Structure 1
């Protein structure tokens, strides 16, 4: 399409074909798919032109022009408002067109020389109709953010790869692609982001209009068991529907159980909480739910690269993968260079309630910070997977989630002197904090007055 006339003719032709088919009320499936693809390609091409136009409108509406700016001359405060008024889009969407058009337009140097576009690979992909403007906007936003952290060469390499890989993808898939690309681009790795996510974790609870509202945000590693358990419960409920009724409706739901997926998730959380409060068996229907961490063996050994949790888009650091490997109910999937499975690990036995009660007598809560027992979990001092540590009292210690992370992430060691509830727990700091690694007693001993 080399002119606005060609574009208009194409639109008229597609509309005429569709009207003829719709009038006959007999639209073959092949025609539906063909028209859908033609409209999609045309829309991307039209959006590419609009991005160029939006960038030019932004230039002609720049602040230094004052009242003489194009947007203000037409009664709009910003170029985005002028664009939105013509397209029916929101100002936020219009700003994306401006950003994409500006980042992919040819530039001029201070001396008037012609320069290539800031992101030429994205420009080519948009102009050819392969990459949508929303996808281009997301890619440009990521690359602009990463320019402060990595080299121009690495940015250019990422741009070329993303422009190809994101073409033809839905926006949900593009976001997942960019999440992984950010982990590859960021020289600091994912650990700093994980730490920030852990620091920002929260669960808000409030009542309104007879409803209890819960809003949870947490790091992906901590949220993975929650996601796996709830999704496992929902899968089990759908399986039970089919087994009970045999016949399902168009939505796949069996007669008799009309709950939506979101209602099932809410029911799952309630059921899990009730189980924790009173149930003493392991009969919850979770459809085999588990947390699987996939990691390359070389990365695991060298502490490089990242790992992936099944069902979670964002990658996790090798440090987090190692910590997860020490937790119960988590299966590590260790792969060699060719992707072959070297070790599936094994589901570890958890400490029993009786063992936790005994450890509570000794530790009185989190042995490191003193939080109450109800906010702790039993941690293997010698990891079950890494050290083949046993699940017995001599190898257990009560730690809250924060201290558990501190032990794993910062290189602390734990020593137990004695046996049973009278044993003494010591924490050995890393050499970076104390070159002599002077043992520190558990908090309940630190807070107990000397006899």
Structure 2
């Protein structure tokens, strides 16, 4: 049976399933299923025709034809852009269609003799209407990718297995099948591929319109704990919702899954900030909310959160305070010593919080507090410097090296959290060595 005959037969079966119905809304459930299956069959039959046509367009548009290229004669750079415009799809989709066509069409050797298709099993599956062009493209891309590593015999076996296993699967399921098949075809490539993916892991953070945006791309090793924790929290939230006495109560949990995941991430990070377990490298990171006490009690005014530019209202501060994790701007209380002299080499947690209040983060470049460390201005060992607030400053690693390597000096005027930090440039930067104000004072707005 030719491909066009098979396509005509599929369309006839679609007509039969639709027979006697003028309005699609009148289709019964059984008819909806039947029509849907017939439409899918027509599409797959059409795919079998289309991939051969795509291969023909590519063949008649090959670069060596020059100006006689079919695509160029019709005003296109290459066959992919021509097919994309004709079909109304992306250039990438058109390239994949061409790749399928070239993979399943019969070939010829150097003297013109016909050779079997590169992937004859996939060709048969397309002709039989068992595979879509999209699924075939995914399988062919995998087989081409693993061809050298796996060898011809294993590739042929993989083609048979994948062509059979992909029947009846959606494209998302085919992707999962492809992922597992790649590890089977090229087991030695799994570990290098894991390392490559791990090197691409990223989390970016930015603030816009009062919202904190997180964009994450994680490899399997890094992402698995994140996925497990978030999904576990969502599952628990839905279980609690199911067990609620009155699910229609005004205070019932009506959060969406993305909202629950956002709450889970916030809760996990808040827990980590308060965790005292050893081995958690947070460099003393703490959420610090700054607000006038009278405004907080009255529920008026606004507050600032370290590391966030957008001011927040009193209601937000109250909710954060109710959940813990808020450090009030009252430092040195409870008989806690903020100046240790030579008794301690490392700055204490309370001293660091005082430095955060004074410096706001890196006193030189303004990076948030969690990206800084407390450094001695006069070094502990070389200069016998004291571990006091007047001898401490928050700096990121880059600014710390810049200051020590390039001859900058630091001066602290005043005492406690109200002191001011000044950076004095070296003579080659400023002949007069004019002090430059650093720390939070640069951004404070006088009332």
Shorter-chain TM band: 0.5 to 0.7
Counterpart-to-counterpart distance in 1, 2:117 and 2:108: 9
User: Are 1:103 and 2:106 matched, yes or no?
Assistant: no
What do residues 333-352 of structure 1 show as CA deviations (whole Å, max 9, x unaligned)? xxxxxxxxxxxxxxxxxxxx
* Deviation at residue 218 of structure 1 after TM alignment: 2.8
* CA distance 1:24–1:125, change in 2 (3 Å): closer
Partners of 1:239 and 1:182 lie apart in 2 by 37
SS in 2 for 1:188: helix
| Structure 1 residue 275 corresponds to structure 2 residue 271 | yes
**Count of residues in correspondence between the two structures:** 279
Contact 1:60 1:69 in 2 (8 A): yes
Specify the alignment match of 1:260 in structure 2. Answer: 256
**TM-score with structure 1 setting the length:** 0.57
Determine the C-alpha separation between the residues in 2 that align with 1:10 and 1:190.
Answer: 42
Is the 1:149–1:187 Cα contact (8 Å) retained in structure 2? Answer: no
Q: How big is each residue's C-alpha offset from its partner over 1:130-188, in whole Å with a ceiling of 9 and x where there is no partner?
A: 11111111111111111232211111111111111112211111111111111111141
The aligned counterpart of 2:114 is: 114
Instruction: Report whether the alignment pairs 1:33 with 2:33.
Output: yes
Residues 151 and 224 (structure 1 numbering): CA distance in 2 closer, same or farther, change over 3 Å?
same
User: Matches of 1:25 and 1:113 in 2, distance apart?
Assistant: 54
Structure 2 equivalent of residue 424 of structure 1: none
Summarize the Cα distance change of 1:234–1:35 in structure 2 as closer, same or farther, 3 Å threshold. Answer: same
In 1: Cα distance, 2:24 partner to 2:99 partner:
43
Task: Report what 1:87 is aligned to.
Answer: 87
Q: Can you list the C-alpha shifts for 1:32-83, whole angstroms capped at 9, x where unaligned?
A: 1111111111101101110010000110111111221112222222212322
Tell me the residue number matched to 1:415. Answer: none
TM-superposed deviation, 1:280:
8.1
**Greater C-alpha radius of gyration:** 2
Matches within 5 A, 1:18-417: 18=18, 20-21=20-21, 23=23, 25-244=25-244, 256-278=252-274
**1:10–1:122 CA distance, 2 compared to 1 (3 A):** closer
Q: Note closer, same or farther for the CA distance 1:19–1:239 as it changes in structure 2 (3 Å cut).
A: farther
1:241 positional shift: 1.9
Deviation at 1:127, TM superposition (A): 1.3
Assess, with a 3 A threshold, how the Cα gap between structure 1 residues 263 and 57 changes in structure 2: closer, same or farther. same
Unpaired stretches in structure 2, ≥5 consecutive residues: 278-344, 346-369, 372-447
In 2 relative to 1, CA 3–200 (structure 1 residues): closer, same or farther, beyond 3 Å? closer
1:203–1:216 contact (8 Å) kept in structure 2: yes
Distance 1:226 1:187, change over 3 A: closer
Q: Secondary structure at the match of 1:167?
A: coil
Displaced runs of 4 or more, over 6 A: none
Decide whether aligned partners of structure 1 residues 104 and 40 sit closer, same or farther in structure 2, where only a CA change above 3 A counts.
same
Partner SS, residue 117 of structure 2: coil
Question: For 1:16 and 1:104, how far apart are their aligned partners in 2?
Answer: 31
Structure 1 residue matching 2:204: 3-state secondary structure:
strand
Contact residue 245 and residue 255 of structure 1 kept, 8 A: no
- Asked if 1 retains the 8 angstrom alpha-carbon contact of 2:10 and 2:38, the reply is no
2:188 counterpart SS class: coil
Q: Name the SS for the 2:21 alignment partner.
A: helix
| Structure 2 Cα separation of the partners of residues 20 and 91 of structure 1 | 40
2:111 & 2:223 partners in 1: Cα distance? 54
